[in-house]
Amino acid sequence: MKEILVLGSGMVGSTIAADLSDKHSVTAADKDEYKLIKLKNTYPVKTLKLDIFNKQALTNELGDYDLIVSAVPGFMGYTILKSIIESGKDVVDISFFVEDPFDLNDLALSNNVTAVVDCGVAPGLSNIILGYHYAKEKIRSFKCFVGGLPFARVYPFQYKAPFSPSDVIEEYTRPARIKENNVIVTKPALSQPELLNFNKIGTLEAFNSDGLRSLLKTLDIPDMSEKTLRYPGHLDVIRILRDAGFFSTEDVIVKDIKVKPADLTSKLLFDSWKLGDDEDEFTILLINIETEERGEISYFLFDVRDKQTGFSSMARTTGFTCTAVVNLLAEERIRRKGICPPEYLGMDEGNYEYVLKYLAERNILLEKL
């Protein structure tokens, strides 16, 4: 049993804390006392009211724990990860911050820290699968399609956000880096839309998003891309908001008050994009890997909200991938130090099988097509 601190008690962070509490002594930290009380009343989790962004307060707490999980919003993720590494603690991170995690590699090595980053569903599980195949055979291309959506299609957005709306807006504005013919190219966010049909849900629309991240540095594959999945029609609404300036991070003056449009938009969307406690939703993941020897290998995942626990599918698929890796760390099955993206873990067949078995035990079933 390890002493584990989970930073952030949102939808995914609370799921992580609850799952880990089966085997470990877990403390959940957040500045929102309501979230902590709700978690503590349901699971054997200790709680800590903490302003995580206060570096001194955070550093003072880290020393009592064996492992740290960072489930904070993306805008603070890099800073928090740096503080954890400076404290010499192994960490699994799902904040998906915009900065390059490898900028912290030397710091992690000097502190003898293993820092697993981007450890969600995609990036995360998708990287583990790709890393497994990369270690075994020559790969020509990798395509990943992923999305989390409500079953109820409520206009105009036909969408609910399992994460902070600010993180979703970041996904809609950040240029997408993909790889074509061994060259990294940058495409506008939301670009190159295409329609895909899925047996379990119907037609969804896919568009470029910046989800390859570490894969652009770690794996030598000629063609790679990741696209986000949404209901048809959502993309048109988002483009209108973007083109009208609602996602801008430049200050504007409104009645002598300085405002960032993106902050206001995020605030306004919070309620309309918030998943209800009993709202049914799903996560869908399609991975196509083209190999030189065997041709195309495909994986498909379709997961829905767990009505018994109330855990959303996105919290399950993201959170349980993270907790599987936390347990690998706790069992000392990850030997690599420094910044460790999930594809490195997948290159070890034992770790790959461990993660898939761990997910299957929680009824997250990956189908090989």
pLDDT for the residue 277: 78
Residue-level pLDDT, tens digit, the chain, 369 residues: 899 999 999 999 999 999 999 999 999 999 999 899 999 999 999 999 999 988 899 999 898 899 999 999 888 999 999 999 999 999 999 999 999 999 999 999 999 999 999 999 999 999 999 999 999 999 999 999 999 999 999 999 999 987 778 888 888 999 999 999 999 999 999 999 999 999 889 999 999 999 999 999 999 999 999 999 999 999 999 999 999 999 999 999 988 999 999 999 999 998 889 888 788 999 999 999 999 988 899 999 999 999 999 999 999 999 999 999 999 999 999 999 999 999 999 999 999 999 999 999 999 999 998
Q: How far is residue 273 from each of residues 149, 155, 227, 266, measured CA to CA in Å?
A: 11, 11, 21, 10
Residue 200 pLDDT: 80
- For 16-51, give one letter per residue: b (16+ CB within 10 A) or e: bbbbbbeebbbbbbbbeeebbeebeeebebbbbebe
81, 339 Cβ separation under 8 angstroms: no
| Choices 3.30.1490.20, 3.10.290.10, 3.40.50.720, 3.40.50.620: CATH for 3-121+313-364 | 3.40.50.720
Burial of 269 (0-12, 13-18, 19+ CB in 10 A): buried
Residue 139, pLDDT score: 97
Q: What is the pLDDT of residue 293?
A: 87
* pLDDT at residue number 275: 83
Three-class HEC string of 313-369:
HHHHHHHHHHHHHHHHHHCCCCCCCEEECHHHHHCCHHHHHHHHHHHHHCCCCEEEC
Pairing of strands 338-340, 90-93: unpaired
Q: What is the DSSP string of 275-287?
A: PPTT--EEEEEEE
Burial zone of 287 (CB within 10 Å; 0-12 exposed, 13-18 middle, 19+ buried): buried
pTM of the model: 0.94
CA distance from start to end of the chain: 37
**Reduced to 3 DSSP states, what percent helix, strand and coil does the chain have, rounded to the nearest 5?**
35, 30, 35
Is the separation of the CB atoms in 137 and 354 below 8 Å?
Answer: no
With H, G, I as helix, E, B as strand and everything else as coil, classify residue 7.
Answer: strand
How is the chain split into domains, by residue range? 3-121+313-364, 125-304
Beta bridge partners of 141: 223, 290
Q: What pLDDT was estimated at residue 170? A: 86
CATH 3.30.360.10 matches 125-304? yes
Q: What is the DSSP letter of 212?
A: -
**Res 188: pLDDT:** 94
- The tokens describing 144, both together, are 């990943």
Query: For residue 300, what pLDDT is reported?
Result: 97
